Structure 1
Amino acid sequence: MMQGRREAKKSYVLFSSTFFFFYICFLSPSSAELTDKGVNFEVLALIGIKSSLVDPHGVLKNWDDTAVDPCSWNMITCSPDGFVLSLGAPSQSLSGTLSSSIGNLTNLQTVLLQNNYITGHIPHEIGKLMKLKTIDLSTNNFTGQIPFTLSHSTNLQYLRVNNNSLTGTIPSSLANMTQLTFLDLSYNNLSGPVPRSLAKTFNVMGNPQICPTGTEKDCNGTQPKPISITLNSSQNKSSDGGTKNRKIAVVFGVSLTCVCLLIIGFGFLLWWRRRHNKQVLFFDINEQNKEEICLGNLRRFSFKELQSATSNFSSKNLVGKGGFGNVYKGCLHDGSIIAVKRLKDINNGGGEIQFQTELEMISLAVHRNLLRLYGFCTTSSERLLVYPYMSNGSVASRLKAKPVLDWGTRKRIALGAGRGALEFGKAANQRGAILDWVKKLQQEKKLEQIVDKDLKSNYDRIEVEEMVQVALLCTQYLPIHRPKMSEVVRMLEGDGLVEKWEASSQRAETNRSYSKPNEFSSSERYSDLTDDSSVLVQAMELSGPR
């Protein structure tokens, strides 16, 4: 049985190999595209064209000579079989010359290089393109004569070489191109006679040696239709009837074709919009400061990543608005649900350094009652903060939502808020202990204990004392007693510090002399009033609808 399986496997492998070889040799269109050295001849031709052109905007930068298939290149259109059908790079400021290797693109049907700065001759090899239907080389700087080989392109229907510097005569062979429907040779330096039978629509104005005044009858126009001569009235009637029937058939066919095209176009538009909405193409805003910021475990997101996660910051994902910006719900590629805060007025925020400083401060605020910062994004024009998404919403939204919360739930919320406030109060007391320690060292003239011991005696004691005094003034409990930033700058420069410090010391002494035992100071009463007010508001919210 095992031997039978092995034989079957060998037969399958042999059949697959034979089929693959047959496909490569006879069916695969790419086999006809390779030279003896295994290189795609259309790639070689296009690279030859690129090498002779000057591309200031880099529209041809993805033309790679090592590529196997040019169909993914810019400005190139291919057939379903993978052959190059169209070369179109109009209005791209291209200069240089047009390489003769264009003649090797034997499947080419369209050449659109108008509105550029290409110089030199139009290559004669362009006449080798037997499938060519459209050529537009207008508004360039081509010189020399019009190639007579263009008449070899028997399928050519549309030819524009106007607004160049072409010279010589108009090739008489162009008059034999019965399939040519449009020809524009205007505004060159052509000379000689105009062939009697050019395209159905032609224009040779602007050539001083052919149309010096522009009023000559052979300068432009539409060729008249052939006149049919009838022999008798019966033939005339039958001819008129046949012509009328043909006109009706043509009108009906054209109308039906237009309706079908409209239906197809409308269907394609619906498909494209649906596909575009599902797969939105995002972009990265130029990130001038690309260096990594070391902020612990914070993750740096790209703008494109957050843009994709929030569906381009769609209003459907908007979950909150605040004074600093809007908050959007987002979903990362790994399925993580996030909340993205898009900050506004970033031009007034102090720039990149200020934003990094704020990030450091936020990242240090780690507490079980605080929402942890997950990551950030910074570009030249965007500042975004990324948090974990809280699906239960805020306390305020839950208190006001339907159904109404029962009293037991509201009590648990109040207890949780109280425990959180208690935790923050403990942290504030610890910070206050540091402030009291510095005040004590300042009063006891022991500020050397604040200075880093590694400095030893390499510091100015007077300057340290002045800086500590400024710091203590800036940390007074009541904001009204704290100096303004302009005053801080002047005090650090040695102006007004003595007066400010004496006023502060005198105010503190006055408060101590008027305060009585078992009574709170004014700052304590102020603090208690603030705390009582906030607790009162929270209690009113917790009590439910009124």
Structure 2
Amino acid sequence: MFRPNFSRGPLKILTRWLIFLTIFKLSSAINNPDIEGEALLDFLHFLNDSNKQIRDWDSHLVSPCFSWSRVTCRDQHVISVSLASVGFSGTLSPSITKLKYLVSLDLHNNNLSGSLPDYISNMTNLQYLNLADNNFSGPIPAKWGQLSNLKQLDLSSNDLTGSIPMQLFSIPMFNFSDTHLKCGPGFDQPCDFKSENPDSSHKSKMAKIVRYASCGAFALLCLGAILTYGYHQMLRRTREIFVDVSGEDDTKVSFGQLRKFSWRELQLATKNFSESNVIGQGGFGKVYKGVLSDNTKVAVKRLLDYHNPGGEAAFEREVQLISVAVHRNLLRLIGFCTTTTEKILVYPFMENLSVAYRLRDLKPGEKGLDWPTRKRVAFGTAHGLEYLHEQCNPKIIHRDLKAANILLDDEFEAVLGDFGLAKLVDARMTHVTTQVRGTMGHIAPEYLSTGKSSEKTDVFGYGITLLELVSGERAIDLSRLEEDEDVLLIDHVKNLLREKRLQDIVDRNLKSYDPKEVETILQVALLCTQGFPEDRPTMSEVVKMLQGVGLADRWADWQQLEEARNQELSLMTHQFVWNDETTLDQEAIQLSRAR
């Protein structure tokens, strides 16, 4: 029987019990939680990760949705696995078929070998499959033609031979270039081409060209394409949307044009949605760096297709609603694109990427964040949230506030991103193992337990983000267990503050900082992360407290409340210990009598 060591302190032990119970609850809520995790571990074993690039796939964590990198979940199931450019040198394993809900599998740019297996045809939900730039050999299994939901297939740059199943030519996007494949029965020439048609019919473009090939027909097709393009350009100009909204200073700010892009424009901008252009990935899909025809740099967010009710019209209504939210600390929406199978958002490209990147993922020679910049980020994010909560009508709740969603413009000013994404994708889509949208460690306790969000859930996430800014650490880090420290960043900071170890909280990468300013931000952070939502301040109050207005009194009240709660928890913990020891003594007496 597990007996916790209570000599470490009652509050810390109780916190660890709560963490354990939370993880257990999240894990046990999944249908067959061990199947997907074990399948991925077996799949990784066959891939041969000799360079040990994937280190956080932990068999001790039952659910891969909890904290595994390169894995995306929805509805408590794995839907995307992205393992491109890792350096694998093994083969594919049939265990991948145990991921019944998998939508996207990306293994391009590795050194995988062997034949393409038949069992892939059993993955009926698969929509995106990228095995390009590997060493696969042999033919494409005929059974792959059964992949009726497949929208994108890339098998380029492999040593493949034989004929391509004709059913695969009906896929909207495919790439068979740089292989030894032949087009199909009756064709001896290599099939060295790719399709870029997002709305292809069941008859592929290649099949049509083969069947109707003649100079006259080809000329007519080209003429039709030119006329169609001109027609859509005219429609786009007539459908541009203009809106005026109130800015933070109540002056009219012209938003300008919300542009509806064609699929072809974004395809060219991102080099056919090349994996080399991917700059981010999450539960929503992938983000690509792109360059428009006028040399404007953009970030193209390609949402995974969840077959939401309402279709394109509902998506466009939501886009227009979100486009009205205009503030200097909010990421501006440039435009969007919809087809029968795609939903895409277009934003300005942020050269300095995100706060999370600048805190933890810098490459050699890149600039980190000094203390004045971190302080500006804290203020800018607060202003952006204040606008969403108190000046937008209807108000907008972010629901996934974290350092990774705070972008940095050319001047390193904070720009809050993804603030409207919850409206555009399935609300059940998540990085955690519940139907709550958000990231573990940033989710307010009432949101996690009830699924109901409010502006106070954003306030909680903002407080955790302030702790990230000061410490440079993640909101939750299981590796701290090995050092007998608190897993949750909020508990770790509280413990260090209690011991007056401010220097151990501050990020070691900071060369200099103002201790008084650090204390102010930490106090605001802890006020924002109180357990009960009614105790947390509003964002307008947060802005004032960051400036020092009203902070002292509120902090004094918090300290008294925290002390009272610690005493109550201590009493509860000691009561638990007494009951536990009494039960053990009774069991020992019964065992003794049995002998």
Task: Flag whether TM exceeds 0.5 (same fold).
Answer: no
- Relative contact order, higher structure (CA 8 A, sep 6+): 2
Compute the TM-score of the two structures, normalised by the length of structure 2: 0.34
